[in-house]
Amino acid sequence: MEIFRCEDLLRKVEDHRVYKPELRRLKQTMLMPPGSCQLAQPYGETGKEAWRYHSADHERLKMLKYSAFQQREAYATVLHTSEDYVCGAVALAQSIIRTNSTRDLILLHDENITPESLVGLKAAGWDTRLINGIRSPFADKDSFNEWNFSPLRIWMLTWYDKVVFIDADILVFNNIDWLFVFPQLSAAPNDKTLFNSGVMVIEPSLCMFEDLMVKVLEMDSYNGSYQGWLNEVFTWWHRLPSQVNFLKDFEGEEGPRQEKILDEISVLHFLGLKPWMCYRDYDCNWDKEGMQRFASDKAHEKWWQVYDEMPETLQPYCGLTEHMNWRLKKWRWIARSLKQPDEHWKIGVTDPRQYNLGA
């Protein structure tokens, strides 16, 4: 179990280490369940397909809150390599603000994000900070995961005591400021044994960042991804309920079950093709072979509700490009040719963005 932080180290003599931990932080950590197989709090009822609403009266959370101390906290996201997720970050900020969160919003970006996009990101609510990307030494040049270690820069936000990292393809529907009572590294499961890095509670630390940078050179991910690498590093992690990072993957789920889940979750992680990359008329994952498991018109509709409620000055940052429009038409043509049984290809496209395409 990772009890002590690297800042707590007083001295090291051969194989012996002496730590002086901050007692309030140590108490928070020790109040957590003794293994990542347990939920950090009682959201899911064993044997029941239902979520229990989070209760501040729960004894463990009361103790965690009692042990917490005044600290600076922020939500953070990272944009790098391209501008594909600028729209997602705009929508994410707006969704957090809609929940009446009191925490700061920090966006780290590399030089690939244009000044024009930064204007929109700042207007959406982000405090933007320029970073140098972090390249994976094991990735091929110009590969999709070449700069995937750039999010490690969140550990450099040391003017904050805690940061909740959120991917830019996520929306928040209910206030989740209570996540800040949990210690590093808290995350929701990707499956039974691994966590998903889309939502993580971390504690910024320069010595932790330096340690992670050493590990970048020493350790390769078991599957080549940043998320896989984090699971290699943080083998001890605190399990949050899936309700705070629900993965949009409905393989085998029936329509009514989908509807119920989507009405109850607090955070939705849009896997597959992203809503702003589709026509707003329906989820374009229906049209692409092998992507139907990520398709949900209800989830698609929830994203566009946030779009409709954001200021009109922000909506142009979610426009379609000529390439995106060509790609959508191609997928619709293929789906029509294959006569895909869901028949979404029969739906007439009315999305006004198709008439005002970007370069």
Q: Give the least confident one: 51-60, 78-87, 194-203, 305-314.
A: 51-60
The 3-state secondary structure of 236-273, one letter per residue:
CCEECCHHHCEECCCCCCCHHHHHHHHHHCCEEECCCC
Of the candidate ranges 55-59, 73-77, 207-211, 307-311, the one whose mean pLDDT is the lowest = 55-59
Which pTM value belongs to this model?
0.89
| Confidence band of 50 (pLDDT split at 50, 70, 90) | very low
Q: What is the pLDDT of residue 29?
A: 74
Q: 221: which residues sit within 8 A by CB, 6+ positions away?
A: 138, 227, 228, 229, 232
Per-residue pLDDT of 262-276, as tens digits, reads: 888 999 999 999 999
Nearest to 92 by CA among 105, 103, 74, 108: 105
End-to-end CA distance of the chain: 51
- For residue 143, name the pLDDT band (cuts at 50, 70, 90): confident
Which residues fall within 8 angstroms of residue 270, CB to CB, at 6 or more apart? 88, 169, 170, 171, 248, 299, 303
Residue 346's pLDDT band, with cuts at 50, 70 and 90, is very high
Among 98-102, 112-116, 256-260, 264-268, name the one with the lowest average pLDDT. 256-260
Residue 176 pLDDT greater than 70, yes or no: yes
Phi and psi, residue 224, nearest 5°: 80, 0
Residue 78, H or E segment: strand 73-79
Catalogue all structural domains in the chain, each as residue range(s) with its CATH number. 73-244 (3.90.550.10), 248-355 (no CATH)
Q: Residue 38: pLDDT above 70?
A: no
Percent of the chain with pLDDT over 90: 65
Name which residue leads in pLDDT, 93 or 43: 93
What gap in Å lies between CA 307 and CA 354, rounded to an integer? 16
How many other CB atoms are found less than 10 A from the CB of residue 136?
20
Is residue 333 pLDDT above 60, yes or no?
yes
Greater model confidence, 47 or 240: 240
Mean pLDDT within 248-268: 81
Please answer whether residues 125 and 310 qualify as being in contact, where contact means their C-beta atoms are separated by less than 8 angstroms.
no
